[in-house]
Structure 1
Amino acid sequence: MIRACQNFLKNSWQKHLLRIPEQPMNNKSRKIWLMTSEFPPLSGGGISTYCFETVNMFVRQGHEIIVFTQDTKTSGITESDRGSYRLVTFNPDNFYTAAFLGYEANLAFAFSEVIKKYMESEGVPDVLESQEYLGICYYVLQFRHLGYELFSELRVLITLHSPSFLYLEYNKVIYHRLPYYWVGEMEKACMHAADMLISPSAYLVPEINSRLNRKLKDVHVLVNPYDVNEAFRLKPSRAGKIVFFGKLTPQKGILEVLRYFEKLWSEGFKQEFVVIGGGNHLYHPEGIDMIDFLRRKYSEQIKIGRLRFTGPISPQEIEREIGDAAVVVIPSIIDNLPYTVLEVMALGRLVLVSKQGGQSEVVTDGVDGFVFDHDDPASFGVKLAKLLSLDQDSSTQVMSAARERIKAGYSHESVYTRKNILLDQLVASPAPSLFPFIEPPAKNSHLGSNTYNDPLLTVVIPFFNMGAFLEEAVQSVIRSSYQQLEIVIVNDGSTEKESMEVLDKMALHKQVRIIHQENQGLPAARNCGALAAAGQWLAFLDPDDSVEPSYYTKAIRVLESRANVTFVGCWARYFGANSACWPAFNPEPPFLLVHNMINSSALVYRKSAFLESGMNDSRMVFGMEDYESVISMVENGRQGVVLPELLWNYRIRKNSMARSFTRDKQLYLYRLISLKHKAIFARYADEVANLLNANGPGIEYDNPTLLYAMPKSWLLSNNASRKLISVIKSNPVLRKYAIRLKKKIFKG
């Protein structure tokens, strides 16, 4: 973190990356691409430091490196030559998905578009490495496992840093509030979909797995690289100076450590405690900046000189504050492998770290630092007293051991030797055969056959007095790039003359069959068509909608290649009275039980799976029969995926069935669904309850990537709100003012 801060002001920071040995350790040069949300000098922080060190490590070994990161100040896609590597920046707000995806989801999609562009021009890299944080690799991995061209050839390495679904919990944030919850789901999806997972600490893995229903397997523990400055000369410490340096967030242990000091001060402890940095970190339970909360809470200690908050200071001032510290405290209540501990130990400072995190894996207690345990609060005072009582020789011995520990265990050479072995395994790993869902199947997963003798697709169009639109729907199917298909129109007792004339016209098409029945309703019409279907693939399409030519080809390709996928959907483009877009998502519980996640009226199925588990329920008299069908399939181990493309066109009509969908009708249908599917609702009851408590009824939101907890008095459109949030999140100054504004708005 210190180095990342320094990179903002150092004009010579690039030179550090140019010191490449004449004879690299590995003569086999690889094309390695690195995706990151943070990279110096654009931003600082632990991920930024990791990327800086990792790029340095790779280029020293002669690898061809491209770094991809966001920059909201740029336009288009910009590439800069940094001598030993290339840096590609892009503005995620410039991609079309910014109109309907939330900030983090849109960032992930933008990454996939940029990676695609570079693969098209330069080929597929040997390795693509990404963080899990914010789920930035989500759409890259979705495209990979859906078999999209070029993406399917990728080998993706995810290095774990700071999963928000874990850290938000410790930061006392309402994790189930949207879009936080969905960002966590994207992070989990990245972990499950990666070809290889690396965790810099062993501590993090069981913490993550304790929050997953489907556990992570084969996580490789490999520490982060850190290049110790050999020219460094240890500065004398100031007697008794105790320092905290890190984010002022609950997860970093600042609340606990101040409680420990409060007790020590009450017992006569005299030394000052210095808290370095701070600001722009919202303390969610109070709705104010953490530094303001702490200054208020500990105002008396500040007045009498026991406690000092530096506030935001320059990198040079940070280095000075830490450079003469007698003890640096790293008290995280959970952490992966914070760079702060590596940097401070490399500086030859005495460290006191908590047991709860990867920092305790760096320190050997009493040898190169000291370790206390939050589960034993008294251990903090005991270990601090030991540190402060060390004589000069003992102190020097511990500080020297700390520096040597970092040089020996975290050097670029040491880490690269181990990482290169993993990269060899990654490059040689086989392509996946199953789709990596986040949740395990509710029942034994049903795997499709790997042999398909009958390629026929049956597209069922349920029809009732929709003659004005039917021909357009049929023509869109006929224009499909997938030509081995039949169209079954189920006329559910139409009475209009125009509709009957259109049906007669459609019957002239050699690919069209028409079934006539008395009016029984939409569910019965769909079921009738499914039972009459001749193909092994089945699709539904309402008579006033249409599909893009490539939809069925892409969907069936997934069904043929992923045996554990039984139905496929896509994104929707509205037309008619509305021209918006709606992004669908892989329908998995618990969110599936709160709101429909997929274009359920226009899916493509394995017919056998639909007939066994997805038949429409005629009791859903007001609608939502297609949504209930999806829940039924998922509950019975039939899992589905979404193609992240606008391949289905959904007509918005003033007099449509959906437009007459009142709130009471929806609530009535939700009750029917929950009664019918008690088992899966019971299995996810706690998650569903938390989602509903945090966001309100599921009928009030349809896109989990968006922020819905905006004050209703803000007269902003959805697009304007998303744009505002994107700008605020990418600008530290605006974040500070946003925290102050939120405090005023939600006061009381």
Structure 2
Amino acid sequence: MKHAGPTIDVVIPTYNRRDLLPEAIASIKAQTLPVARIFIVDDGSTDGTIEWVRTLAQDDPAIELVEMQHGGANVARNAGIARAQSEWVAFLDSDDAWEPEKLERQFALLEERPDLVGLFCGFRLVGIKVEKIHRPRDNPSLLDLRCANGLGSTSGAVIRRSALQEATGFNPELPSCQDWDLWFRLRRIGPMGVARLPLVRFNCGPHERITTNMNKVLSGHRAIFANLLADVERAGERARIRSQHKLVEADIKRRFGSNGAALWLILRSFFQAPSKRALAVGWRTTRGIWDDLRQPRPASAA
């Protein structure tokens, strides 16, 4: 299918990802809907990334290297947003990749919904034993986004540049969950559309990323929870948000192996505001604990 589409710039923050970055760039170049510019924002790499991108940019006028001191991925993303000039800005982490039709399918949403300020899509989680698919909910309400980040990570997002400017970009003061924080502020500006096909390959491999650090993830979650709850006055909504945040924290604990703590949070969530989601998360966590118990233990050393 053909789609002229608006102009698109892509921002890739990177830090010591020389081995993974080529696949990310290749997936942009393979898009059926071409992009105008690719801003590769290097966050102080020491592994040869800068030199490699500099050479690449000499042969490809669409690629621009932005060098900065190490300040974190969201400082880098904001630097890329500041350089962008197209109507839309897409984000791609340097360890993830897009399916070829990703942008085309997302921009097709505008044909029926031209008022969208953000375009999202499904994810395929790779680099794990059993690949999984995450499909975001289309146009979540503000209450939905107060409860959980239902839209996913930055690698699936394409946002109107004017909306990014109005929302003032990512908040670098948060230790994690900066994407969730920004999606909520953008949703105040306008609706979000989702192409539910898994159009992003999200790399869950063993390389370093903030989502492999439980303390940072929990710290960011608790900070954004305080922000999202601050202006909610209705008691019922506050109870639902508190309950759902316990489920988010339970899922974080489960992912990092703290199954007992996860189950306790699920029970507290269910008694605070019973929901089908609490039952589903509880079942998933209980099944995970059972699977862990069934794993053979390594033999003791003689």
User: For the residues of structure 1 that align with 2:171 and 2:90, how far apart are their CA atoms?
Assistant: 17
1:640 aligns with 2:192: yes
Structure 1 unaligned residues grouped into runs of 5+: 1-147, 149-452, 718-748
User: Could you tell me which of 621, 631, 647 is aligned with 2:184?
Assistant: 631
Q: Deviations over 1:231-274 (max 9, x none)?
A: xxxxxxxxxxxxxxxxxxxxxxxxxxxxxxxxxxxxxxxxxxxx
Does the C-alpha gap of structure 1 residues 600 and 710 become closer, same or farther in structure 2, counting only changes over 3 Å?
A: closer
Q: 1:612 aligns with which of 140, 159, 166?
A: 166
Shift of 1:476: 0.2
Contact 1:570/1:646, CA 8 A, preserved across alignment: yes
Please name the residue that 1:596 is paired with: 149
> Could you say which residue in structure 2 is the equivalent of 1:576?
127
Q: 1:485 aligns with which of 36, 40, 43?
A: 36
What corresponds to 2:25 in structure 1?
A: 474
Distance 1:666 1:564 in 2: 33
Task: Tell me the secondary structure at the aligned position of residue 33 of structure 2.
Answer: coil
Secondary structure of residue in 1 paired with 2:189: coil
Q: Is the 8 A contact 1:576 1:652 kept in 2?
A: yes
Map 1:94-105 onto structure 2 (within 5 A): none
Superposition pairs of residues 410-449 of structure 1, within 5 angstroms: none
Structure 1 distance, partners of 2:47, 2:150, is 34
User: Which residue of the partner structure matches residue 12 of structure 2?
Assistant: 461
Greater shift in the superposed pair: 648-657 or 556-565? 556-565
Alpha-carbon distance in 2 for matches of 1:505, 1:705: 51
Change (3 A) 1:710 1:674: closer
1:631 Cα deviation from its structure 2 partner: 1.3
* 1:352-373 Cα deviation digits (max 9, x unpaired): xxxxxxxxxxxxxxxxxxxxxx
| Structure 2 Cα separation of the partners of residues 495 and 645 of structure 1 | 36
SS in 1 for 2:31: coil
How far 1:475 moved relative to its partner? 0.5
RMSD of the alignment, in Å? Answer: 3.0
Amino acid at match of 1:605: I
Counterpart position of 2:77: 526
Contact 2:11-2:91 within 8 A present in 1 as well: yes
Q: Which has the higher helix share?
A: 2
**Post-superposition offset of 1:710:** 2.8
- What letter corresponds to residue 581 of structure 1 in structure 2? I
Distance 1:659 1:631 in 2: 20
The verdict on how the C-alpha distance between 1:493 and 1:694 changes in structure 2, with shifts beyond 3 A counting, is closer
1:649 corresponding residue in structure 2:
201
Aligned to 1:708: 281
Task: Tell me how far apart the structure 2 counterparts of residues 695 and 616 of structure 1 sit (CA, whole Å).
Answer: 21
Q: Report matched runs for 1:267-306 at 5 Å.
A: none
Mean alpha-carbon deviation: is it higher for 485-494 or for 653-662?
653-662
CA distance in 2, matches of 1:469, 1:631: 30
Q: Which string of whole-angstrom CA distances, capped at 9 and with x for unpartnered residues, describes residues 92-146 of structure 1? A: xxxxxxxxxxxxxxxxxxxxxxxxxxxxxxxxxxxxxxxxxxxxxxxxxxxxxxx
1:660 correspondence with 2:233: no
Q: Which amino acid aligns with 1:611?
A: Q
Report the alpha carbon displacement of residue 689 of structure 1 after superposing the two structures with TM. 1.6
Residues 319-334 of structure 1 correspond to what in structure 2 (within 5 A)?
A: none
Unaligned runs of 5+ in 2: 253-275, 292-302
Q: CA deviation at 1:514?
A: 1.2
Taking a change above 3 Å as real, the CA distance of residues 617 and 510 of structure 1, as seen in their structure-2 partners, is: same
Q: CA deviation at 1:676?
A: 3.6
Change (3 A) 1:454 1:597: closer
| CA distance, structure 2, for counterparts of residue 711 and residue 461 of structure 1 | 34
Residues 13 and 43 of structure 2 are in contact (CA less than 8 Å); yes or no, is this contact kept in structure 1?
yes
Shift in CA distance, 456/706, structure 1 to aligned 2, threshold 3 Å: farther
Could you tell me how far apart the structure 1 residues matched to 2:111 and 2:238 are? 33
Please show how residues 221-260 of structure 1 align to structure 2 within 5 Å: none
CA contact (8 A) 1:590 1:684 kept: no
In the alignment, is the contact (CA less than 8 A) between 1:695 and 1:708 conserved in 2?
no
Letter in 2 for 1:503: V
Which of the pair has more CA radius of gyration?
1
CA separation of 1:694/1:594 partners in 2, compared to 1, >3 Å: closer, same or farther? closer
Amino acid in the other structure paired with 2:133: C
With normalisation by structure 1, the TM-score equals: 0.33
Equivalent residue, structure 2, for 1:535: 86
Partner secondary structure for residue 467 of structure 1:
coil
Change (3 A) 1:705 1:549: farther
Partner in structure 1 of residue 260 of structure 2: none
Between the aligned partners of 1:705 and 1:541, the Cα distance in structure 2 is 32
1:599 Cα offset (Å) = 2.3
Could you report, residue by residue, the CA deviation over 1:620-656 in whole angstroms, capped at 9, with x for unpaired residues?
A: 13x211111111112x332212111010110012232
The CA deviation at 1:527 is: 0.7
Deviation at 1:580, TM superposition (A): 1.7
CA distance in 2, matches of 1:604, 1:641: 10
Residues 695 and 711 (structure 1), Cα distance of their counterparts in 2 relative to 1, 3 Å cut? farther
CA distance in 2, matches of 1:491, 1:513: 11
Question: Does residue 95 of structure 2 align to residue 562 of structure 1?
Answer: no
Q: Which amino acid aligns with 2:169?
A: M
Q: Conserved in 2, the CA contact under 8 Å of 1:476 and 1:547?
A: yes
Structure 1 pair 706–713 and aligned structure 2 pair: CA distance change class (3 A): closer
Distance 1:464 1:666, change over 3 A: closer
Whether the 8 Å CA contact 2:225–2:245 is kept in 1: the answer is no
Shift of 1:558: 2.0
Displacement, 1:658? Answer: 3.6
The number of residue pairs the alignment matches comes to 262
- Partners in 1 of 2:228 and 2:216 — Cα distance? 18
Does the CA-based 8 Å contact 2:119-2:194 persist in structure 1?
yes
C-alpha contact (below 8 Å) 1:573/1:647 kept by paired residues: yes
**1:32-51 matches, cutoff 5 A:** none
Report the CA distance shift for 1:616/1:685 in structure 2 as closer, same or farther (over 3 A). farther
Question: How do 1:335-414 residues align onto structure 2 when only pairs under 5 Å count?
Answer: none
User: Contact (CA 8 Å) 2:5, 2:107: kept in 1 or not?
Assistant: no
Asked whether 1:515 is paired with 2:66, we answer yes
